[in-house]
Structure 1
Amino acid sequence: MNLRSSVDIISEWDIVAARQLGRNEAKDVGFGTVDQARITTAISELARNIYLYAEKGNIEIKQISEGNLKGLLVIASDKGPGIADVRKAMEDGYTTSGGLGAGLPGVKRLMDDFKIETVVDEGTVITATKWMR
């Protein structure tokens, strides 16, 4: 099983579309309402970061399975400025946009697996996975 869907992030409305897609995919995999909310919150943060910092990018959502485990893989990618200091970006409360600073550390807490690949002036790819319990 490896179904995939994606939303290009160009406007604020695309953040809403990505959230909705994430909720639908999570429901389809069989996640309960609490995990659906965690997944949609993580997607919202990732999509908002694309919109704020890179201006455009993509949120890809894949249903995945490993053995008898089922889950959802979220890939947020952009060709924006990249993240100059990943360690700082992963600090709770750190924000460059005046937001709450829950951003990337929040996504990491909400999901089970989390990885950032970034190159300054080339872009960022963040992958986050949630597994069904």
Structure 2
Amino acid sequence: MRPAPAHFTPHHTDNDAVTMPLRTDEDVVRLRKAARDYLVATGFGVLDQTKMITAASELARNTLRYGGGGEARLAKLSDGTRRGVSMSFQDEGPGIADVRLALTDGYTTGGGMGLGLSGAKRLADEFELETAPGKGTMVRIVKWKAF
């Protein structure tokens, strides 16, 4: 996975981060369970768990469908006054030619509802997307909880 870009606010990451492959639908199921475990361990309630698991599922499926597979990285975060969970999704696929269009509700190239990227952005506290045609895509979402 690529390191976070310089413009992304750095936070302390716990040593128990995990990287998981995203090659099959079964990998998406495993990711959803791991995401839930991280969120529960960090103290998030059911509503925030549901939001982030939904966002993670959408991004994992995008990684499979549009990026040809890749990997996800889950990490617990802390910045002194808050705890959080970071979820990153990386592929080496064709990239996204028009990010603005891809983040528009209802836009889809795969016949779905077109809420994957835009929905994930709304469900998370932080959203970052790096992509370039022919260079793959990295999406990172973060959810925070005050101590």
**Would you say same fold, with TM above 0.5?**
yes
Q: Is the 8 A contact 1:6 1:18 kept in 2?
A: no
Q: The residue matched to 2:74 in structure 1 has which SS?
A: strand
Residues paired across the two proteins, number: 133
1:132 to partner: Cα distance: 1.0
Gaps of 5+ in 2: 1-12
CA distance in 1, matches of 2:121, 2:36: 18
| CA distance in structure 2 between the aligned counterparts of 1:83 and 1:58, rounded to whole angstroms | 17
| TM-score with structure 2 setting the length | 0.88
Q: Output the TM-score relative to the length of structure 1.
A: 0.97
CA RMSD of aligned residues (A): 0.9
Task: Give aligned-pair identity as a percent.
Answer: 41
Of 25, 45, 49, which residue of structure 2 is paired with 1:12? 25
Q: Paired residue for 2:86, among 62, 66, 73? A: 73
Gaps of 5+ in 1: none
The answer to whether residue 93 in structure 2 is matched with residue 83 in structure 1 is no
Tell me whether 1:47 sits opposite 2:49 in the alignment: no
Partner amino acid for 1:114?
Answer: F
Aligned pair partner of 2:36 in 20, 23, 37: 23
Deviation at residue 6 of structure 1 after TM alignment: 2.2
Q: What's 1:103 paired with? A: 116
Flag as ranges the 4+ runs of structure 1 deviating above 2 A: none
